[in-house]
Structure 1
Amino acid sequence: MTNIRDIARESGYSVSTVSRVLNHKKYVSPAVRDHIEQVMQQLNYVPNAVARDLSSGHTKTIGVALAMVAHPYYTTLVKGITEAAFEEGYQVTLLPTDYDAKLERRYLEQLRQHAFDGLIFTSHSMPISEIAAAQAFGPVVVCQDPGSVTIPAAFTDRQASYHEAFAWIKQAGYQRIGLMLPRDPKVSATASAMVQAYTNVIGAAPAADLTWIGSMAYADGRKAGAFFAANGADFVFANGDDIAMGVHDYYQQNHLPLPGLMGQENQVSSALLGISTIDHHFHAVGRAALALATGAKTGQIKIASDFIARP
């Protein structure tokens, strides 16, 4: 494969002069530039884009650590990130983690090695304080409320909409309220926010026999449907509209009276079912995260979510 030294030898000019031509620097006469470019064409030389980007100090690539793709949170968030990246001339590299802290640390190491210009954590397993410490390597952004930790963050303000949703459920007179959580509240900011709002509004912690942990997709809703039916839930608040549809379909296909239902993410499925939902505006969160990762914005960006009540 032809390299810069081959061009220098064939053209009769120094490596430094050839380098100035390759990098479009000044102090090279038009005649010399034309001659070196002709030699490059004759030798079929193709510049190493990775090496060029590293030498310039940027890659125009943003890494996105992605725990999974099944839940609409991730698909909508990534859509916002990629759309904004395209507009700004950046590429996006998706980095699957499956909540594996070892993989998350590996991606931080790649950031230290300048594989990306910035790294966005859509979710994570490792402590946020450890992620914040990696800012010495380059821009690191989280998509959650970081609390007292100083780190760029783009996230939705869930508490107000969750309180409004539980107040609506309580006012409707439901007594056996089933709660569907993505992960254990000890490790999931979303689950923690749902439990906290439930406790504040209802006046007691969620009952264990009405709490389903581990819901990410429609199939999880169907499994949870059997659980809630067996435990006498009269209302189910799911962590996704498609997940709520899974609950709905279990009851319907087993000829059981439907409980009240509520979803999240304002998907088409909630409109088709005519159930209430919450729009967390994750598309806007994704766009904000990209702006933080590229340095176009700084600090922490909080976006209000909206409770959408349907009779």
Structure 2
Amino acid sequence: MTNIRDIAQLSGYSISTVSRVINHQNYVSDETRVAIQKVINQLDYVPNAVARDLSRGKTFNVGVVLPNSDHPYFTQLVHGIMRAAFATNYRVVLLPSKYNVTLELQYLQDLRQRAYDALIFTSHGLPLTALNRYRQYGTIVVCENPHDCPIPAAYAERLTTYQAAFNLLKQRGFHQIGLLASRPVAVSATCQAMVTSYQSIFHQAPEPELMRTDVTTPADAHRSGEYYIAHHLKPDAILTNGDDNAVGLLRAYHEHNQQPPYLIGQEHQLSGEVLRLPTIDHHFNEVGAKAFDLAVTGQQGKIAIASHLIVPSEVESNKDLG
């Protein structure tokens, strides 16, 4: 395999001069550049991209650790990351994890071995303290509020908007409130924010039998609706974790010819607009873009993006959807 030494030997120029031509650097005359390029073409030489990046001290790779792509939280974050990446020379590498801590540790080891300049954890199974220990090897950014952990972060500010959603339900006389979440409260910052906000408005914990976790897709939400119906549970309102998931719930109630509860969605999806559901927009596209900026600039600190509760003005009660 042809290498830079072969080019230097055949062209008669030093290895350092050949390197400057290959890497498009200055301080090489046009005559010298043409002569060396002629030998490069003759030998059909292609630079080793990995070696070249390492010589520059950068790989221009940003790894994005992605537990799944089934929920709009992740798809919207990735869309924002990709949108920001298009304006740079960086490559985005998606790293599936399914919250598997062994996989996440491998990605951290890859960062240590300089396979990436930075890692963005859209979510994680490892504790924040474990992620923080690897920051000495490269930039690590998370997409949640890290609170006392000094790890850089871009995230949606959820608490005040969840409080606004629960306050809306309380004002409308709803007290049996169901919650849909993708992961249990013990391991999910999002679920913790929902529960904390609920307690601040209703001054008690949510009823455990009305909380459904492991809900990621509309099919999961449909099964939650089946669960409520089969167990004769009658929440009068449900804060779902996605407009599409609200549709999954509605389908279950319609199939059983039952009036659905009042529903609030999340992530301002097209399905929610069509059904005119109240929804929470966390602006995850913007969160993703900010996370990418933190990753490539190496800046420290936290960036909180305000979220918004959207209530269609014509909708007094979406129970009419039943």
Q: How many residues align?
A: 311
Rounded Cα–Cα distance in structure 2 between residues aligned with 1:296 and 1:104: 21
CA contact (8 A) 2:8 2:14 kept: yes
2:84 matched to 1:100? no
- Residue of structure 1 in register with 2:220 after alignment: 220
Query: For the residues of structure 1 that align with 2:69 and 2:49, how far apart are their CA atoms?
Result: 30
Structure 2 residue corresponding to 1:247, chosen from 246, 249, 252: 249
Normalising by structure 2, we get a TM-score of 0.93
Q: Distance in 1 between matches of 2:296 and 2:122?
A: 16
**Aligned match of 2:66:** 66
State the Cα deviation string for residues 41-62 of structure 1 (Å, max 9, x = none): 1111111222111110112221
Say if 2:169 and 2:175, in contact at 8 Å, map to a contact too. no
In 2, Cα distance between equivalents of 1:22 and 1:190:
49
| Aligned position for 1:258 | 260
Q: Is 1:175 aligned with 2:141? A: no
TM-score, structure 1 as length reference:
0.96
Percentage identity across aligned positions? 46
Which runs of no fewer than 5 residues in structure 1 stay unpaired? Answer: none
Q: Who is 1:276 aligned against?
A: 278
Assess if the C-alpha contact under 8 Å between 1:292 and 1:298 holds in 2. yes
Residue 288 of structure 1 contacts residue 301 of structure 1 at CA under 8 Å; is this kept in 2? yes
Partner amino acid for 1:249?
R
CA offsets 1:154-192 (integer angstroms, 9 cap, x no match) = 001100000000000011111321111111111000000
Q: Distance in 2 between matches of 1:167 and 1:4?
A: 68
Partner of 1:291: 293
In 2: Cα distance, 1:195 partner to 1:231 partner: 19
Paired with 1:136 and 1:105, the residues of 2 have a C-alpha distance of 15
Number of the residue aligned with 1:202: 202
2:12 is matched with: 12
Q: Tell me, in whole angstroms, the C-alpha distance in 1 between the residues paired with 2:4 and 2:218.
A: 55
- Unmatched 5+ stretches in structure 2: 316-322
Moved more, 93-102 or 49-58: 49-58
Q: Summarize the alignment of residues 13-52 of structure 1 with structure 2, pairs less than 5 Å apart.
A: 13-52=13-52
Shift of 1:31: 2.7
Q: Secondary structure at the match of 1:263?
A: strand
Does structure 1 residue 142 correspond to structure 2 residue 146? Answer: no
TM-superposed CA distance for 1:259, in Å, is: 1.2
RMSD: 1.4
Task: Find the aligned partners of 1:29 and 1:157 in 2 and give their Cα distance.
Answer: 55
Of 305, 308, 311, which aligns to 1:309? 311
Q: How far, CA to CA, are the matches of 2:123 and 2:281 in structure 1?
A: 19
Q: Contact between 1:178 and 1:228, CA under 8 Å: does it hold in 2?
A: no
Per-residue CA deviation, residues 20-56 of structure 1 (Å, 9 max, x unaligned), is: 3222344444333221111111111111222111110
Q: How does 1:91-130 map onto structure 2 within 5 Å?
A: 91-130=91-130
Q: Which residue of 2 aligns with 1:236?
A: 238
- Say if 1:274 and 1:27 are closer, same or farther in 2 by CA, change over 3 A: closer
**AA in 1 matched with 2:282:** H
CA contact (8 A) 2:139 2:298 kept: no
Cα distance, 1:236 vs. partner? 1.4
8 Å CA contact 2:250, 2:260 repeated in 1? yes
Q: Which amino acid aligns with 2:253?
A: Y
Q: Secondary structure at the match of 2:266?
A: coil
Of residues 138-147 and 230-239 in structure 1, the stretch that sits farther from structure 2 once superposed is: 230-239
Name the CA distance, whole Å, in 1 between partners of 2:143 and 2:27: 46
Partners of 1:186 and 1:148 in 2: CA distance: 18
Amino acid at match of 1:70: D
Amino acid in the other structure paired with 1:146? P
Any idea what SS the aligned residue of 2:180 has?
strand
Contact 1:241 1:264 in 2 (8 A): yes
**Secondary structure, aligned partner of 1:167:** helix
The SS at the match of 2:86 is: helix
1:88 to partner: Cα distance: 2.0
Per-residue deviation at 1:15?
A: 2.6
| Alpha-carbon shift at residue 297 of structure 1 (Å) | 4.5
Matched residue type, 2:145: D
